[in-house]
Amino acid sequence: MEKRLQELKKSTKKLQILNQNQRANLIENIANSIEQNIDKIIKANAIDLQNAKNLSLALQDRLKLDENRIKNLAKSIKDIALLKDPIGKIKDGWITKDGLKIEKISVPLGVIAIIYESRPNVTAEVVALAIKSANGCALKGGKEAINTNLAIVEIIKDSLKEYGGCVEYFDISRDEILDFIKMDKYLDLVVPRGGEGLVKFVSSNSSVPVLKHDKGVCHIYIHKFANIKKALDICINAKCSRPGVCNAAESVLVDEDLASEFLPLLKSQLDKFGVIIYGCKRANQIIECQEASKDSYDNEYLDFKLNLKVVSGFDDAIEHIDRHSSGHSEAIVSDDYSACERFLSLVDSACVYANASTRFSDGGEFGFGGEIGISTGKMHARGPVGVDELTTYKYIIRGQGHIR
């Protein structure tokens, strides 16, 4: 493992001397190779899907790559190639009292390790983002997607030719991961993307700086002045379009003034998707649903399951979100401008929406082409982590024989 990481760091240096057009060409090559090898990817993915029959349908959906999804993946990679170059940007510049010329410029982080589960499209998106930002990439995917991941990595490395060494896939055990995340001599950042257990394990044991892609306990608050149709459309989209992803809603909070009218309509729509509803006592008095436990509101279901809670007003909703949110994405639905603006100001999550679904918390939807993950922390990067967040900076100082 150490030898492979050593070679990866060395190969990354070769990548970092390329200009933006050369790196963009490499990314285009990846996208084209993926399009040319759709059948190979689908064949490998079919093996993983067959082995995943015991997983929930939502998790199987996360794992699945069909022709349409692979074509969309290739398109998102081409979008990444077209992004502005994040490297070499002059962030600031000045001349000191002694006449030194100082510039603050953006530079790559170095080698980024991504430890992720389920979604094999992450493999290609992460590599494209890393190359765009001139970073090396150490990948560790989940065992449930091993065949798909290995097929994609082989396609990528072949397309990169002499620069294939800047990407390495590590098929290692949990015990070996413990050694992997202590390789701070070779790794500059580690990003855990997966369940709560994985994120906690990496965060607790890594000697490499960690950028957490934590769980998504996302909320939608239906304010008393919400437009009913908008509220229904947003709730159904946020929960049912892809329940197995981190930006799906897990709890809907409804103002008591609107609950009697709104909840039966919402349940009728949720029933079409077979959503299991866990409701508070007040919700249970209005619609038939299972009673929520004290732990329900902290769950990231990643499934057709949803919490409902009737709240006494704006402040009650904010208090609930403060207590149970994972800091990922929250939304308010209301035609009251001041209520929306208060919500956007007061809710302390990475992505906060007014009258829109939480499902937009995504690098592609934000115009980043893709993302390394959704950071729920507050240091360095927050929300969808795109190419700009995969850089740091250094100071360039030019003198003329200056001494102090």
Q: For residue 195, is pLDDT > 80?
A: no
Can you tell me which residue has the tokens 């965060």? Answer: 203
Report the chain's mean pLDDT, rounded to a whole number. Answer: 94
Least confident interval from 7-16, 102-111, 209-218:
209-218
Average pLDDT over residues 193-221: 89
The least confident of 73-87, 297-311, 378-392 is 378-392
Assess whether pLDDT exceeds 80 at residue 224.
Answer: yes
* pTM, 2 dp: 0.84
Q: Of the candidates 286, 296, 277, which has an alpha carbon nearest to the alpha carbon of residue 256?
A: 286
Contact 289, 281 (CB under 8 A): no
Find, among 162, 72, 196, the residue nearest to 124 by Cα. 72
Residue 378 has pLDDT above 80, yes or no: no
Which one-letter DSSP state was computed for residue 304? S
What is the mean predicted confidence (pLDDT) over 208-216?
A: 86
Tens of pLDDT along 337-368?
A: 999 999 999 999 999 999 999 999 998 899 88
Among all chains, which residue has been given the structure tokens 């609930």?
A: 320
Q: Would you mind telling me the total number of residues written for the chain in this entry?
A: 404
| Cβ burial, residue 1 (10 Å; 0-12/13-18/19+) | middle
Confidence band for 175, pLDDT divided at 50, 70 and 90: confident
